Structure 1
Amino acid sequence: MSETGRSSEGAHNLVRYHERDVERFVVEPAKNPQRTPFERDRARVLHSSALRRLGAKTQVLGPGSDDFVRTRLTHSLEVAQVGRSLGQALGCDPDVVDTACLAHDLGHPPYGHNGEKALDVIAAPIGGFEGNAQTLRLLTRLEPKTLTPCGRSVGLNLTRASLDAVAKYPWAKGEGPGGPQGKSTRKYGCYDDDRPIFEWMRAGAPAARRCLEAQVMDLSDDVGYSVHDVEDAIALGRMDPALLRRPGEAGAVVEATLNWYGREADAAALEAAWQRLTVLPCWIGSYTGSMADAAALKNLTSQLIGRFVSAVADATRRAFGPGPLTRYDADLVIPEDTAAEILILKGAAVRYVMAPREHEPVYLRQRTELFDLADALVGSGDRHLEPIFADAWRRAGDDAGRLRAVVDQIASLTDTSARAWHARLCGLLSQV
C-alpha cells in the first residue's frame, strides 16, 4: 500500500505512515480535519479514566509513602517526555510515541509488581495475569469509548500504529522468543480471548518483532526507571551519594543487578559502567536536601537522560541514515555501554530500595489483601462489581469468563481503593 500524506481523518502530513497504520478496528467518521488520527489517539489516552487512576498506583514506593515519590502517572508522563524527544530525533510521529508512553503502564494493578504477582496466581486457572496483556485488554475492551454496532466495547479504538506501539511484548503467552519454555511464558502482550483484535493490530507486522515506536517507548521506560528511581532514592535518603564511591560498593551494586535482572549480564561491563557514571562532573557527592543539592540532583537526572537519548539517537542514525524512521523501517540501536549504564542504575535502585522492601511485612499484607478480595468477589457473584465488570460477569458463559471479570475489576483498582474494598468486603463477608 502506498504511503499517505493525508488520511481520511486528518489533513496533516503523516510522513512514512500508510493508510493501514491509521485504520481503526471500528471505522469512525471523519471529525476535526485539523487533527491527525494520532493526535486523536493521544487525546483519548490522556483523557481516559485508566490514566487518571495511575496517580494512585505504586511505582516503586507507594503513593502514600511521601509527597515526593513518583506514582505510575508521574512516571508515565516523564516516560512520554523522554520518548517524544527520542522519537522526534528519529522521525517517528511524536503523538504515536507519546500515546504509547502514556499508555504503557495502564494495565498495572494496585501495589505495582507485587500486585501483579498476586493477580497472576489468582488468574492461574485462566492463563494468568500480565500487566502488558492487561494494557491491551484495557485499551481494546475495558476503557469505555467506542462500541461495535452490536454493542460490544472495543475500548479506545486506537489506530493500528498507536496500538502496536504499546505492544512491548507482541505475542501471546508462550508464543514469543524461547517458545513455551522461554521468557514469553512470563512476559507477553495478549490473553487468549483478546486474540481477534491483537491479530488485527499485528496484521502485516513481522512475527514477534516490535515496531520502532514500541522500542522507543520501552527504552524510555527503562531510562525513566533507571534515572528517576535513583533520584527518588537519593532524595528520600534511601541512597547516600557519599557512600557510592567507597571500596566494594560497585561490586555490591553489580551483584544486586545480576541477582534481580539475570546473571547473563556482563559483570565487568556493569562495573565499568558504574565507574563511568560516578566520575561524571554532574554526579553528586552528597545530598542534604538543601536548595543547592536539590538543584544538583535535578541536573544529574537531566544530564543522564540527555546522555542516554543522544547516544541511542546517534547510534540509530549511524545505522539507518537520515530521514524519517517509523514502524518497521528500522530497529533502535542501543550502544552496549549505554545499555550497561542504564541497567546498573536500575540495579542501584534494586540494592537500595527494591530488594530491602521485599522482606517488609507490608508486601505480604498487600498480596494477602488481593487474595482475600478475589475470594470475596468470586463468592459474591456480580453483587459488588462495578457496572462494567458486573456486565462482563453476566455475559460470561463459564467460570473462566467470570473469574476474568473479577481479575479485571481488581486490576482496575488503585492502591487506595484496593485497601478500601478489602476493608469493606472482606470485613462484611467475615460477619455473614
Structure 2
Amino acid sequence: MAVTVPGMDGIAQDQTATGYDISAQERWVSEPDKRPGRTAFQRDRARVLHSAALRRLAGKTQVVAPLEVAPEINTSPRTRLTHSLECAQVGRELGAALGCDPDLVETACLAHDLGHPPFGHNGEQALNAFAADCGGFEGNAQSLRLLTRLEPKRFVPDGDGERSVGLNLTRAALDAATKYPWTRAEGPDGPRSPKFGVYEDDAPVFAWLREGAPEGRQCFEAQVMDWADDVAYSVHDLEDGLHAGHLDPGLLLAEPERRDLFELTVKRYAPDADTEELAQALDRLHDQEWWPHSYDGSAVAEARLKDATSQLIGRFCLEAERATRARHGPGRLTRYQAELVVPRAARLECAVLKGVANRYVMQRADQERRRRHQRVVMAELGEALMRRAPEALAPPFRTLYHRAGDDRARLRAVVDQIASLTDASAVALHERLVVR
C-alpha cells in the first residue's frame, strides 16, 4: 500500500511512486517553499542553475582554450560550463530511463564541477600543494563546500552574526553530487588518496548527508552522474580536438601511434586492461560507419562529426541502460537499491577516447609551457594573498578569514578565494598583486 507523507517543502509525495522518502528530501536547514507545486528536487535544480558558481564555469577551460582555435574556424570549444550542461542532459535522460528523478540527476550533473579551480587539473594540483597545511585541495571536496557553505543562498544565526549554509540542497541532491563519498584519510588509498569528496572541516554536513548510506558507496544517482561525466567529456574532448586541428584521425591507424596511445590509456584510464583489449575497443569504434575517419572543417565534415558524437553518447548510454536493466529488471532504480552496470567493452571504448584527447590535445609541447606558467601563477597568487590577507581578499572570503579560529582555517579561506577565480580573473589578480 502506498504511503503518502508531507514532503520537506510542504508537498504531499507518494514514497512508493517517487522512490524518494522524506529523508531523501530533507534539507540541512528546514525552510518553507515560497512557491508550492514544485518538487524538492526541482527547487534543487533551480538553485544550482541560478548560482554564481555555475556561471563562473564559463570562464574555466575544459580542454581546448578559445585562443588555441584558429581564427578562421567558426566554432567555440567547450568550457567547464558547457561541459556541465551537456553532462546534465546526458545524465538526465539516462537517469530518467532507469527510474531516477530526472531533476535530481540533472542537479548532480550541473553541480559536479562547481569546485573546479582555474586552469583545470593543472590548477588543482598547484592549489593542492599550496593547501597542504590545511588538508590539501580537491575539486570534488570543493564542490561540496560550495554547495553547503560558500555559495550564498541561505543563512542561519550563528553567535552574534549569521553564517551561510550554501544552497541548502536536499540530502539526496548532495549525495548524488558526491562522486567520492569519503574524506582523504578514509579513501581507498588511505591518507594518500588523490580523490576525495570532503574536507575535514566540512565533516558535519557530510555526516548528515550520508546518514543511512553504506560506507564508501556512491548512491545510484551519483553513479549515473559519474558515467554521464565520463561519456560527455570523452566524446566532446575528441570533438574539440578535431575542431581545433590537434588530431588527425588517420594517426589512429599508425602502429607506433597506437602503441603509445594504448600505453597511455592503460596508465591513466584503464589500469586493469591490456593493450590488445584497447586495440579491439578502438577498432570497434573505427569500424562504425559514422566514425569520423577524416575531418576537414567543411559543413559536411562538421555534420558528420556531430552525428558521430551523438552516436557515441547514445552507444555508451544504451549499453549502460541495457546492462543495468538486465541485472535489476524493470521499475524505479533509486538511491541504494541498485548499482549502475556499464559493460567492460563500453568502459574501454570510453577510456580510449580519453586517451586520444590526453595524447593529442593535453600533451602537446606548447601545453607543457602553458602549464608551467599556470603553476607559477597559482603559487605566486597564493603567497601574495596570504601576505596581504585579509585586505586583499574579496568580501565573502575576508569574512571567512576574520571568523577563522586558527591558521588552517585562515589558509582555507585564501584557498576558497583562489578556487573561485576564473582563468582570466586569476591571471588579472596575479598581475595586480605580483607582477610589477
Contact 2:151 2:167 in 1 (8 A): yes
Deviation at 1:267, TM superposition (A): 2.2
Give the CA deviation at 1:259: 3.1
Partner in structure 2 of residue 416 of structure 1: 424
- Answer yes or no: is the 8 Å Cα contact 1:3–1:16 preserved in 2: no
Pair 288,320 (structure 1): closer, same or farther in 2 beyond 3 Å: same
Report the identity percentage.
Answer: 56
Instruction: Describe how 1:375-394 pairs up with structure 2 within 5 A.
Output: 375-394=383-402
Look up the match of 2:7.
7
* SS of structure 2 residue aligned to 1:198: helix
Is 1:153 paired with 2:161?
Answer: no
2: CA distance, partners of 1:323 / 1:409:
44
Tell me, what secondary structure is at the counterpart of 1:164?
helix
Secondary structure of the corresponding residue to residue 18 of structure 2 = coil
Structure 1 residues 112-121 or 171-180, which shifts more? 171-180
Closer, same or farther in 2 for the Cα pair 1:28/1:97, shift >3 Å?
A: same
Does the residue aligned with 2:157 lie in a helix, a strand or coil? coil
Provide TM-score, normalisation by structure 2.
0.94
Contact 1:56 1:63 in 2 (8 A): no
Task: Confirm or deny that 1:118 pairs with 2:129.
Answer: no
Gaps of 5+ in 1: none
Match of 1:237 among 223, 245, 248: 245
With over 3 angstroms needed to count, the CA separation of the structure-2 counterparts of 1:88 and 1:362, relative to structure 1, is same
Please name the residue that 2:107 is paired with: 99
Give runs of aligned pairs for residues 393-412 of structure 1, distance below 5 A. Answer: 393-412=401-420
How far 1:5 sits from its partner (Å)? 6.7
> What's the secondary structure of 1:148's corresponding residue?
strand
Larger deviation, residues 23-32 vs 324-333: 23-32
Tell which deviates more after alignment, 249-258 or 125-134.
249-258
Q: How far off is 1:34 after superposition? A: 1.3
Contact 1:5–1:15, Cα closer than 8 Å, also in 2: no
Work out whether residues 134 and 408 of structure 2, in 8 Å CA contact, stay in contact via their aligned partners in 1.
Answer: yes
Check conservation: 2:220, 2:339, Cα contact below 8 A: yes
* In structure 1, distance between residues paired with 2:202 and 2:428: 30
Residues 153-232 of structure 1: pairs in structure 2 closer than 5 A: 153-181=164-192, 185-232=193-240
Secondary structure in structure 1 of the residue aligned to 2:77: coil
Letter in 2 for 1:34: G
Does the CA-based 8 Å contact 2:8-2:26 persist in structure 1? no
Q: 2:32 matched to 1:32?
A: no
With over 3 angstroms needed to count, the CA separation of the structure-2 counterparts of 1:6 and 1:250, relative to structure 1, is farther
| Contact preservation (8 Å) 1:62, 1:111 | no
Name the CA shift for 1:265/1:180 in 2 (closer, same or farther; >3 Å): farther
The 8 Å contact of residues 8 and 30 in structure 2, kept in 1 or not, is answered as no
TM-score when scaled to structure 1? Answer: 0.95
Which runs of 5 or more residues in structure 2 are unaligned? 70-74
Equivalent residue in structure 2 for 1:58, among 56, 61, 75? 61
Matched residue, 1:354: 362
Spell out, residue by residue over 1:293-321, the C-alpha distance to the aligned partner (whole angstroms, 9 max, x if none): 00000000000000000000000001001
Partner of 2:372: 364
Aligned pair count?
424
Q: Alpha carbons of 1:11 and 1:358: their partners in 2 closer, same or farther (altered >3 Å)? A: farther
Residue pair 1:87, 1:213 contacting (<8 A) in 2 also: yes
1:89 aligns with 2:97: yes
- CA distances 1:150-190 after superposition (whole Å, capped 9, x unpaired): 31211000000001000000000020224335xxx210000
Q: Name whichever of 132-141 and 65-74 sits farther off.
A: 65-74
Displacement after TM superposition at 1:269 (Å): 1.5
Does residue 17 of structure 2 align to residue 17 of structure 1?
no
Report the Cα distance in structure 1 between the residues aligned to 2:13 and 2:211, rounded to whole angstroms: 24
Residues 3 and 19 in structure 1, CA contact (< 8 A), matched pair in contact too: no
* Structure-1 separation of matches of 2:126 and 2:262: 28
Does the 8 Å contact 1:20/1:160 carry over to 2?
A: yes
Greater alpha carbon shift after TM alignment, 259-268 vs 185-194: 259-268
Correspondence list, 1:315-326, <5 A? 315-326=323-334
Indicate which of 293, 298, 321 corresponds to 1:285.
293
Q: Deviations over 1:357-414 (max 9, x none)?
A: 5853111111101111111110012111111000000001111111100000000000
Query: Whole-Å Cα distance in 2 between the matches of residues 326 and 358 of structure 1?
Result: 45
Shift of 1:355: 2.1
Alignment of structure 1 residues 278-317 onto 2, 5 Å = 278-317=286-325
Aligned alpha-carbon RMSD (Å): 1.6
- CA distance in 1: counterparts of 2:134 and 2:163, whole angstroms: 22
When structure 1 is superposed on structure 2, of 256-265 and 105-114 the one drifting more is 256-265
For residues 250-279 of structure 1, the C-alpha deviation after alignment (integer angstroms, 9 at most, x for no partner) is 323211212333643332211110110011
How far apart are the structure 2 equivalents of 1:117 and 1:178? 18
Report the Cα distance in structure 2 between the residues aligned to 1:146 and 1:40, rounded to whole angstroms.
13
Q: Which secondary structure does the structure 2 equivalent of 1:344 belong to?
A: helix
**Does structure 1 retain, via aligned residues, the 8 Å contact 2:64–2:241?**
no
Report the Cα distance in structure 2 between the residues aligned to 1:29 and 1:282, rounded to whole angstroms. Answer: 51
| Separation of aligned partners in 2, 1:358 and 1:164 | 39
